[in-house]
Amino acid sequence: MEFLTNHRSVRKYIDKKIEQSLLEELLQAASCASTTGNMQLYSVIATESDDKKRQLAPCHFNQPMVTNAPLVLTFCADFNRFCKWCEQRNATPGYNNFHSFLTATIDALLFAQNFCIAAESKGLGICYLGTTTYNAEKIVEALNLPKFVVPITTITVGYPEIIPSKSDRLPIEAILHHETYTDYTTADIDKHYAYKESLPENKKFVADNNKTSLAQIFTDIRYTKQDNETITTTLIKTLKKQGFQFEF
């Protein structure tokens, strides 16, 4: 519980290599995560060389922690290995569809989160990079990912140089529903987001960007409709290129 409640996203690391034995220990722990049908539909690419990190950096908008971290892990939804096993055992795989991709995505994220908890328990810091699906096509090329393998998330790992403050979270009452989903009233929304909106750093963010609410930071700057639609189009193209054939 302590490791969970004290989680921080660490973006600056000291210059200290993560030993291979520790990495394997953490991945072994991560592999004990729940997985669909025990298929383990994931793979992870460990990037440690400066050259490869520099190659990956533009895929993540050149965020400094990509080149600063001693270890960059790209977690992938992977039906390649399982399909090959099926074919080599006279079984016909039918996993080139959206549901199969979603299944592998869930497996990969459960694996990644287990890794993060294990890493933090050993004194390491981690940071998820949400940019992985933004530039999935470029990451596929950079990491030579075969058919039925798609990058889902990237995590930088290292011994922290700076321990940042904890990020705010919504109260439990905002996310917990009993028996059935109870939709939110206007008063509920005001109540649940009051603390987030009251934080000085968030108020400053709103003022500095000439907005009238924190919500506009998300809709107009950070995650715009245009960006989301462009990313969606590119991601679907990448999924099809990687062998997952489906239409919406």
Q: Which of 247, 245, 237 is nearest to 79 (CA)?
A: 245
Provide the CATH number for the domain around residue 36.
3.40.109.10
- The sheet carrying 149-158 orders its strands as 42-47, 71-78, 149-158, 125-129
pLDDT at 11: 95
The predicted pLDDT at position 247 comes to: 78
Q: How many helices (H) and strands (E) does the chain have?
A: 12, 4
Q: Are 195 and 218 within 8 A, CB to CB?
A: no
Q: pTM for this one?
A: 0.95
Q: For the chain, which residues score pLDDT lower than 50?
A: none
Domain assignment present for residue 209? The answer is no
Tell me if 66 is assigned to some domain: yes
Position 68 scores a pLDDT of 96
> Which residues on adjacent β-strands are paired with residue 129?
154
- Give yes or no for a contact between 145 and 63, defined as CB atoms under 8 angstroms apart: no
For 150, the domain range is 2-165
**pLDDT at 246 (0 to 100):** 81
pLDDT of residue 3: 78
Whether 67 is in a domain gets the answer: yes
- Is 180 a member of any domain? no
Q: Which two tokens stand for residue 137?
A: 């096509």
Judge whether 148 lies within some domain.
yes
Tens digits of residue pLDDT in 173-219:
999 999 999 999 999 999 999 999 999 999 999 999 999 999 999 99
Q: Would 131 be classed as within a structural domain?
A: yes
* Number of domains present in the structure of the chain: 1
- pLDDT at position 207 is 97
Q: Give domain status of residue 28, yes or no.
A: yes
